[in-house]
Structure 1
Amino acid sequence: MEKKKIAILGSGMSALTSAYELSSYENWQDRYDITIYQMGWRLGGKTATGRGPNERIQEHGIHIAQGWYENAFRLIQDSYKECEKHNLMPDSPFKSWEDGFDREDTTLLTHFDPKTNQWIKKNIIFPSNNYIPGQGGPLPFSAIVKKAVGLILEILFGTDPNKKSLLSAASESAKEIKAPEHHSLWENFKSKLEGFVKDKVFKHEGEKLLNYVAELVQHLSEGDHDHSARKDHHSMINELLDTLSKWITKLIDSIADHDEYFYWLAVFVEFGIVNMKGTFDDVYDPETHELDYERINELDYREWLQKHGASERLLSSAMVRFLYTGTFHNLTGADQQGSLAAGVGLHFLTNSAGYKGSFVWKFKAGTADTMITPIYLVLKNRGVNFKFFHKVEQVHYSDSGAIEKVSMAEQVTLKNGTYTPTYKFKNLDVWPGEPLYDQIDDAQAKALKEGKYDLEESWCGWKNVGQVSLEKGKDFDYVILGIPIDVLGGQEGICKEIIENNQAWYNMYHHVKSIPTMSMQLWIKPTLKELGMNLPDWGFPEGSLPNLVTYADPQYSFIDMSQVMPYENWNEDKPGVLIYYTGSFLDPEEIPPFSDHHYPHEQLERIMRVSEQWLRDKMGWFFPNATTLEYPEGMKLSVIHDFSKAAKTDYGRLKTQFFRANVNPTDRYTLSLPGSNKYRLKTDESGFENLILTGDWINFGVNVGYYEGAIVSGLQAGQAVRDKLGLPSETAIFNGVKLK
């Protein structure tokens, strides 16, 4: 076989994963070469990390790993294992992948109660388990349903002195519950479960029926039933859930308005039942016996919940808002109240319930320091080539059926022709917040620093030093396009020629939307307890580092990330707590052309001003010891660490922290709006025989913007190239929960 050349454009998680997949096979270098072309000085795309004053870690936003990120954890585990095998990180404090993470089981939900005009909170401690993420594939759907049923049963019938009135109300409302004895399957089903029932002591008919649902789902996913039997099982599940839904609606209406405690119970139980009922009504296909989430993607998630009987209380609850804010969809839709494809939202929710180990796994150092570094070192050691400071300008259209030419700019001249992107700090290979200028031509390095040019910024105005033209057959045989969708079209789009000449690309670019996000990192001098947030008083174990995704706009997500501070550079001046914040925001009416070099700086100033006011208005609930008479609901900014040591105003002190306005086309968050999924192209649907697509904007399955999805699409891209070369692929791709 003639040796082929593969050019990968971009270096986000999908592009890096495609390179990792392609280079994971024995003797791959006998078949092809791999070169990654990357704008700027670092890898990782939206997961890239930089360093600032005091070697502080600077992120694009909040990045964590969730326990259901099966492909991501497998990739991380494999890269650490290979680094150990080849001694690529000999002095790293992270000897294994486990060393690079802290587990966290606590989450905080908040809800604004318009009746009392105040926020109310609910802490959740997700029970840890013995599963290891990245090993064994996703949990089966039946196991997730059993977990959900178990949680509902614990909420309704678990031992808790506060539940006496609930149990009384449940017993009273249960008088109308009737098992579906008329169903043709009922007698047979009852006899099969006699042993199960004998071993259980049911306090309540509702408890019995909920257990029956879990058992039926288990039977439904077993392989020894024929089509007719599965349809009967499905029919009976629907009847049981319909019965339970009517009972729980009546029960909840009798308790929900009593107090805050019962409000949260009502929301949790209704949320579980409505989602289960909707899943078996709409998503489970009785003909194919598969879960088909695409069937409801024309609807908004709230619209779909309402269709299945969700109350207004549930629709406005933190449980529902969690999906919109957690996926940056909270400002979308015609009324800017949120719009999220129902199938995408439900699939994301179902996957989340299948977490392994802990619900949240936090990186101990920067995202890139912990995750990108070992991947980069493995790829480099395998022989993958990296071309930094290469900015793609056009993937040219051709009517030959193949991509014939790619034009790109060379941003700077490197002294030695190659670039080493990391440096050592506390024995970690870390990534700088700006280029390592000593590797760049001296005159260019001086001009970059004096002009404060950001080579990752579309509006920066830097004059590139050269042009590079890649040609088919000479520089590449196959191209993997791993650059975000907002870069592809528009006046400056790198695929505008293709979009103008291909209807499928035109539809995709104009229907798959994105939104800018903001982030703020605050290094605060007092500890949480000194600020007035005593964790046990909030229902959290001492030592936990809570996270929150449902607070007030715009910085509605925040998380304690103090565990990374040992990998920053602090002496006696170490802050007491480090908190990351993030949220989405809306574009101005018109986004200016790239010739307007002030635009990103104006947007950064905009979010800093908004964040200043938000802190003064909102953080007092969490930090009561940091309030003032002037700002009784907020926090005084004097508690923030002053990196300049010379700030004369509160805003000057705030400006020494780290902010990002992710307005660059490469940084925006890809949305999954109702009706947009059908316009996404799959990895091998570019319409060109040698062009493979990858990224969170393609149709990779779950289709929501998160790096686990980007990794899935990267695996798909790598395997698509192998398939075109007639080579086998062995890596399993886990793309969400399956029924069986």
Structure 2
Amino acid sequence: MQNTESSKKKIAILGSGMSSLTAAYELSSYENWQDRYEITIYQMGWRLGGKTATGRGQNERIQEHGIHIAQGWYENAFRLIQDSYKECEKHNLMPDSPFKSWDEAFDREDTTLLTHFDPKTNQWIKKNIIFPSNEYIPGQGGPLPFSAIVKKAIGLVAEILFGTDPNKDSIIIKADTSLHSINTPEHHSLWSDFKSKFEAFVKEKVFKHEGEKLLHYVSELVDNLVKEGHDHVTRKDHHSIINEIFHVLAKWVTKLIDSIADHNEYFYWLAVFVEFGMVNMKGTFADVYNPETHELDYEKINDLDYREWLKSHGASERLLSSAMVRFLYTGTFHNLTGADQQGSLAAGVGLHFLTNSAGYKGSFVWKFKAGTADTMITPIYLVLKNRGVKFKFFHKVEQVHYSDTGSIEKISMAEQVTLKDGTYTPTYKLKGLDVWPGEPLYDQIDDEQAKALKEGKFDLEESWCGWKNVKEFSLEKGKDFDYTVLGIPIDVLGGNEGICKEIIANNTAWNNMYTHVKSIPTMSMQLWITPNLKELGMHLPDWGFPEGALPNLVTYADPQYSFIDMSQVLPYEDWGDQKPGVLIYYTGSFLDPEVIPPFSDHNYPHEQLERIMRISEQWLRDKMGWFFKNATTLEYPEGMKFDVIHDFSKIAKTDYARLKTQFFRANVNPTDRYTLSLPGSNKYRLKADESGFDNLIITGDWINFGVNVGYYEGAIVSGLQAGQVVRNKLGLPSETPIFSGVTLK
């Protein structure tokens, strides 16, 4: 029997980032969901996607919040993308799209670049990494089990140690010498099973097949940790012998790499890779694997910094300062955190993130062929709209009011503008794609308000913009909502102007979460450069890239330490015959000023934008010559000349004026900041169903969703969790599996 309209539950979703959109998608993915409830998404401004939102500028250039890619271990994200494309095809929602299926919307990349500054030579050195592609399809079948990831890691270590290389003979001599000092665990009850393999390994066969056999035997022991039929005692025995073996191998590896690391770049990178893999695996089985539950418990080390944890397991200073370790800090924008501003990252979060990434499917990196929103948000939006989800654009949350009834009773809202027809169509067609504008589509807004917005250059997504809302109203429990899903970033929640300041003031758990879960502003720069990479002097084979590859790296010099060639999106901009040779996105983090001004200081975001443009100008002059040697000058032999940059104005008279025509973002807005996972902070995060109010569900990369690092796969996980909490409260079943990361089994 169907519910009547009056008995349907109303669900108000506040915010439209990936977590909110995923919650709506999950809630509307069940047959006959419309008979039980209705869903309305309330969104400030003119577009969806939160930090993954995309806009369009001059020449229909794609303008991002920062660098967004998909990695092959984003199981929930790929499943969502695949499902939305399939549903769009079923209902013909994107009839003109050049992407007929999800895989046509991505380019795969197996190569990445690590860079490390060598203080001994006072220069940067590089290492190209090729991640072998595989037959797995991300989003299908769930994450690879931990044992499979250990086998992949061991295979990589084996290839590094035992693979063909002209330097191998000199390593063999040093390895034979270092083996004599190994003390084997003769006392262990399982040693007899392992002894023959180890002796074969030691007796002058370290770099022959026995070496690989030894490592693969360790992976067999990992399999035995979860093998059906093994009792608790047997599993504990296997865990303890693994600890013993890693202890022995780690001591040998330490002696070996200490004797070779300083010989040349090859040996340096060899030493770093092997030590990195060994120390992380050793620490995982010592601290993270729980021999009582036979599960992986990353929370056990989250009060420690990741480098601090590595050091406790014997990591050398060489490893701690290496690009391999720095990759985790820069890749998660934690590089400027901590008391010394040298980086601070919860060890469990860092290790979990690293372990998950080792379980990539297909390729390590998958690049969007068009803008992030054009590729990922558009099909989700079209599916939700087709399903009957309602969207309220230009609706800003002012306050989620505290109530001592145990429920949220009232939410204060504001309408930012008056729409001519009462509804808003947020996308327009470009080359068959439904794309998102960089500014509101003013022709749908009241003419007088649209004129004021344009003349005053008001940005309705900006907290400091000073625009006066046209209407204030309230959402009331029982009338406008029964349940509300709060999917707005944590920096918006508290402080003098926070939308949940009443709750934070009256609830200790919320106060602790807001106090301890921190964030950092990020910067973004996009450069459209007229010459191609070869003309700029970056010959890809010299850098270890195959011809046609699109380079990416995350460990270069601060502040724009991450950059990536995104030239694959150029065909989906509007260039005619003037298409640039290369398009590069840059990003990094930066520190707040000592005092962040109130929202009444309308100049603040513009000052911060000017600040990061000036910083980026100097950075380009100082740092890009290593890559673009044909674009250097006598005045700036380490940097690049700016006349290679496309001048959007066509009249720029100075280098800086030309640079300003590119696209920059200073992500200082509370909605745009990156959520951090600092040591000791995880315990204060609340789960989706832990708001303390029976009708308030929370979602976003700031809640306790599992891995707890700021990335859109995590936001999607939290959105799935929120959707299922709502259904559980309604007494309805949930069937969508949530892949929260690698498990041992």
Q: TM-score, normalised by structure 2?
A: 0.98
Which residue does the alignment assign to 2:573?
Answer: 568
| Amino acid in the other structure paired with 2:350 | G
Query: Is contact 2:399-2:500 (8 Å) kept?
Result: yes
Give the equivalent residue in structure 2 for 1:581: 586
**Structure 2 matches for 1:461-472, cutoff 5 A?**
461-472=466-477
Gaps of 5+ in 2: none
Partner residue, 1:172: 177
1-side partners of 2:283 and 2:744: how far apart? 15
Corresponding position: 1:402 with 2:423: no
Residues 268-299 of structure 1: CA deviation (Å, up to 9, x unaligned): 00000000000000000000000000000000
Residue in 2 that maps onto 1:644: 649
Q: How does 1:422-571 map to 2 (within 5 A)?
A: 422-571=427-576
- 201-210 or 507-516, which deviates more: 201-210
Query: Counterpart of 1:161 in 2: which secondary structure?
Result: coil
131, 146, 149: which is aligned to 1:126?
A: 131
The structure 2 residue matched to 1:676, chosen from 676, 681, 704, is 681
Aligned to 1:335: 340
Specify whether residues 658 and 37 from structure 1 end up closer, same or farther in structure 2 by C-alpha distance, changes over 3 A only: same
Q: Which moved more, 1:155-164 or 1:349-358?
A: 155-164
Show the counterpart of 1:600: 605
Q: What secondary structure does 1:176 align onto?
A: coil
Kindly state the Cα deviation for residue 167 of structure 1 after the two structures are TM-superposed. 2.2
Shift of 1:253: 0.7
What residue is the counterpart of 2:274 in the other structure?
A: 269
Of residues 71, 96, 118 in structure 2, which corresponds to 1:91?
96
SS at match of 1:555: coil
8 Å Cα contact 2:176-2:206 kept in structure 1:
no
Q: 1:155 aligns with which of 148, 154, 160?
A: 160
Aligned length: 738
C-alpha distance in 2 between matches for 1:423 and 1:699: 36
User: Alpha carbons of 1:689 and 1:191: their partners in 2 closer, same or farther (altered >3 Å)?
Assistant: farther
Q: Matched residues in 1 for 2:158 and 2:692: separation?
A: 51
Secondary structure, aligned partner of 1:180: coil
Match of 1:33 among 30, 38, 42: 38
Over the residues paired in the alignment, what is the CA RMSD in angstroms? 1.6
Distance 1:186 1:389, change over 3 A: same
Partners of 2:172 and 2:206 within 8 A in 1? no
2:693 matched to 1:688?
yes
Q: For each residue in 1:567-622, what CA deviation from the matched residue of structure 2 results, as whole angstroms up to 9, or x when unmatched?
A: 00011211000000000000000000000000000000000000000000000000
Q: How does 1:9-24 map to 2 (within 5 A)?
A: 9-24=14-29
Distance verdict in 2 for CA 1:606–1:202, change over 3 Å: closer
The offset of 1:193, in angstroms, is 12
How far apart are residue 668 of structure 1 and its match? 0.1
Q: Who is 1:295 aligned against?
A: 300
CA displacement at 1:185 relative to structure 2: 1.6
Does 2:365 align with 1:360? yes
Residue of 2, 12, 18 corresponding to 1:7:
12
**Does structure 1 retain, via aligned residues, the 8 Å contact 2:175–2:206?**
no
Distance, in Å, in 2 between the alignment partners of 1:27 and 1:417 is 28
- What is residue 665 of structure 2 aligned with on the other side? 660
Identity over aligned pairs, percent: 87
AA paired with 2:135?
N
In the aligned structure 2, how far is the partner of 1:125 from the partner of 1:436? Answer: 43
| CA-CA distance at 1:379 after TM superposition | 0.1
Q: Structure 1 residue 117: deviation in Å?
A: 0.5
Instruction: Give CA deviations for 1:474-528 in whole Å, capped at 9, x if unaligned.
Output: 0000000000000000000000000000000000000000000000000000000
Q: Contact 1:512–1:672 (CA<8 Å) still a contact in 2?
A: yes
User: What's the secondary structure of 2:167's corresponding residue?
Assistant: helix
| Residues 151 and 219 in structure 2, CA contact (< 8 A), matched pair in contact too | yes
Q: How far apart, in 1, do the equivalents of 2:590 and 2:719 lie? A: 28
- Partner Cα distance (2:121, 2:415) in 1: 59
SS, match of residue 127 in structure 2: strand
The superposition leaves residues 662-718 of structure 1 with CA deviations (integer Å, 9 ceiling, x where unpaired) of 000000000000000000000000000000000000000000000000000000000
Q: Which residue of structure 2 lines up, in the alignment, with residue 304 of structure 1?
A: 309
Q: Is the 8 A contact 1:604 1:661 kept in 2?
A: yes
Aligned residue for 1:384?
389
Q: What is the CA–CA distance in structure 1 between the aligned matches of 2:300 and 2:266, rounded to whole Å? A: 36
Aligned to 2:633: 628
8 Å contact from structure 2 (residues 197, 213) kept in 1 = no
> Do 1:174 and 1:206's aligned partners in 2 also have CA atoms closer than 8 Å?
no
User: Cα offset for 1:210?
Assistant: 2.0
Q: Which secondary structure state, in structure 1, belongs to the residue aligned with residue 724 of structure 2? A: helix
1:245 Cα deviation after fit: 0.2
In structure 2, the residue matched to 1:711 is 716
Partner Cα separation in structure 2 for residue 202 and residue 427 of structure 1: 56
CA contact (8 A) 2:116 2:322 kept: yes
Distance 1:435 1:9 in 2: 20
Q: Superposed, which structure 2 residues align to 1:82-231 within 5 Å?
A: 82-177=87-182, 179-188=184-193, 203=208, 206-231=211-236
Amino acid at match of 1:486: D
Structure 1 CA distance, aligned partners of 2:207 and 2:495? Answer: 62
CA distance in 1, matches of 2:507, 2:162: 58
Partner Cα distance (1:174, 1:229) in 2: 30
Equivalent position amino acid for 1:256 in 2? A
CA deviation after TM superposition for structure 1 residue 214, in Å: 1.1
Offset of 1:207 from its aligned partner? 4.0
CA-CA distance at 1:437 after TM superposition: 0.2
Aligned AA (1:284) = Y
- Counterpart AA for 1:478: Y
**Which whole-Å CA distance do the structure 1 matches of 2:616 and 2:295 have between them?**
45
CA contact (8 A) 2:513 2:686 kept: yes
Aligned mates of 1:219, 1:39 — CA distance in 2 = 52
Task: Give the whole-Å Cα distance in 2 for the aligned partners of 1:25 and 1:211.
Answer: 44
Gapped regions of structure 1 (runs ≥ 5): none
Deviation at 1:206, TM superposition (A): 4.9
* Alpha-carbon shift at residue 205 of structure 1 (Å): 6.0
Q: TM-score, normalised by structure 1?
A: 0.98
The range that moved more, 360-369 or 157-166, is 157-166
Shift of 1:224: 1.9
Q: What are the superposed Cα offsets for residues 543-576 of structure 1, whole Å, 9 maximum, x if unpaired?
A: 0001000000000000000000000001121100
- Verify the 8 A CA contact 1:304 1:342 in the aligned structure 2: yes
- Judge which range, 37-46 or 208-217, deviates more: 208-217
| Structure 1 letter corresponding to 2:84 | S
Shift of 1:315: 0.1
Q: CA deviation at 1:180?
A: 3.1
User: 1:238 matched to which residue of 2?
Assistant: 243
- Helix, strand or coil: the match of 2:180? helix
How far, CA to CA, are the matches of 1:701 and 1:629 in structure 2?
51
Please give the alpha-carbon distance, in whole angstroms, between the structure 1 residues aligned to 2:168 and 2:112: 22
Distance apart, 1:192 and its partner CA:
12
